[in-house]
Amino acid sequence: MLTLADQLGSDVPFFINGGTAYVSGKGNIVKKVSSNPKFYVLIFPGFSISTKHILESFLIGTFVNQII
């Protein structure tokens, strides 16, 4: 099922697995991690942006071992 999900879109395997995860590759390599259930933040800026565009804007390693 995850192979089919990957063909539908890079984010789909993450959403099928659910929970908190470390995602790598094109979004198709999903490793579950424990989460801190104290709080969650959902931001809706009121406009859309391409996932590819926003991820390309981050410098590699900028957020290693940090909360974003």
pLDDT (tens digit per residue) in 36-52: 777 777 778 788 878 77
Amino acid (1-letter code) at residue 41: V
Residue 33 has pLDDT above 80, yes or no: yes
How many residues are present in the chain?
A: 68
Whether 47 is in a domain gets the answer: yes
Contact predicate 14/30, CB 8 Å:
yes
| Domain encompassing residue 21 | 2-57
Cβ neighbours, 10 Å, residue 56: 8
pTM value? 0.42
In a domain, 62, yes or no: no
Please tell me the predicted confidence (pLDDT) of residue 60.
Answer: 63
Q: What is the mean pLDDT of residues 1-19?
A: 76
**In this predicted structure, what is the pLDDT of residue 46?**
87
User: 13 lies in a domain?
Assistant: yes
Do the domain assignments include residue 30? yes
Please tell me whether residue 7 adopts helix, strand or coil conformation: helix
Determine, yes or no, domain membership for 10: yes
pLDDT of 10 reads: 74
Q: Is 52 among the domain residues? A: yes
Look at the chain and report how many structural domains it folds into: 1
Side-chain-facing half-sphere of 44: CA atoms under 13 Å: 1
Residue 12 has a pLDDT of 80
